[in-house]
Amino acid sequence: MAEQPKLLGTLPSPFVHRVIWALKLKAIPYEFIEQDLTNKSPLLLKYNPVHKKVPVFLHGDKPVCESMIIVEYIDEVWPQNPLLPKDPYERAQARFWVKFAEDKGTAVYRMFSSKGEELEKTKKETLEMLQTAEEHGIGEKKFFGGESIGIADIAFGPVVYGLEIIEEAIGEGAVFEAHRFPRLHAWIKNFKQVPVIKENLAERDWMVTLFKNRREALAGSA
């Protein structure tokens, strides 16, 4: 492939990070094109006309949208350091947990933009999601993918890392408590220590400040 693939994204975005991790885990060189979501570029609107969101992955002139679909595409085109297992049943389990992270993980982001009764509701949803992931998802494994990280870890990574940041930014007590979720706590610790992840994680304090400011701005405009 003559041309480097391109990634349209914004740095605080958890969804963009999923694609960065997949690319870095496979040592795929790419060009990152920072987007301004308050003033969407013609490039973004051209290549993601349906959702007008990041991330968008450009391979040649062909756009792929939606973070986990991009990750799966990358895994198929660049098979080194596979993110999905070979066995169809194991793949189905991985996909199940990716879907779970996608469907239920939104509670975390909704926590960020809610307050009062709505916040209590989204906190409860988040707790339910964590409980299920703790009991049924991670189990006794080091990672969702087993001994090394896989596609489900990439899906959950930003959900749980995002939660740690969001609960600090909200400052109304912890949701993700270690004594309640020992397995997930061990998992996120191991996840953040994987070299590629460690080097490509948005810095925590910076994110907390960013989210605190955004939350205040939201409250101000309500």
Supply the minimum distance, in Å, between the C-beta of residue 38 and other proteins: 22
Q: Is 104 helix (H, G, I), strand (E, B) or coil?
A: helix
Asked whether the beta carbons of 208 and 169 are under 8 A apart, the reply is yes
Site size toward other proteins, by CB under 8 A: 23
Give the nearer residue to other proteins in terms of CB position, either 128 or 203. Answer: 128
Q: Is 110 in the site for other proteins (CB under 8 A)?
A: no
Supply the minimum distance, in Å, between the C-beta of residue 18 and other proteins: 14
Q: Is 132 in the site for other proteins (CB under 8 A)?
A: yes
Distance from the Cα of residue 165 to its chain's centroid: 13
For 109, the token pair is 């982001």
Supply the minimum distance, in Å, between the C-beta of residue 137 and other proteins: 8
Supply the minimum distance, in Å, between the C-beta of residue 120 and other proteins: 21
Q: Is 45 in the site for other proteins (CB under 8 A)?
A: no
Supply the minimum distance, in Å, between the C-beta of residue 174 and other proteins: 24
The two most distant CA atoms of the chain are separated, in Å, by 54
Within 13 Å of residue 33, how many CA atoms lie on the same side as its CB?
15
Q: Please select the residue that binds other proteins; options are 37, 46, 96, 218, rule is CB under 8 A.
A: 96
Give the nearer residue to other proteins in terms of CB position, either 32 or 73. Answer: 73
Q: Is 146 in the site for other proteins (CB under 8 A)?
A: no
Q: Please select the residue that binds other proteins; options are 7, 8, 70, 163, rule is CB under 8 A.
A: 70
Distance from the Cα of residue 148 to its chain's centroid: 17
Q: Is 4 in the site for other proteins (CB under 8 A)?
A: no
Sheet containing strand 56-59, edge to edge, reads: 31-34, 6-9, 56-59, 62-65
Q: Please select the residue that binds other proteins; options are 29, 38, 39, 88, rule is CB under 8 A.
A: 88
CA dist 169 and 108 (Å) reads 12
In 3-state terms the chain splits into helix, strand, coil percentages (rounded to 5) of: 60, 10, 35
Count of beta carbons in the 10 Å neighbourhood of residue 66: 18
**Residues that bind other proteins in the complex, under the rule CB under 8 A:** 49-50, 59, 62, 64-66, 69-70, 72-73, 76-77, 88-89, 91-92, 95-96, 99-100, 132, 136
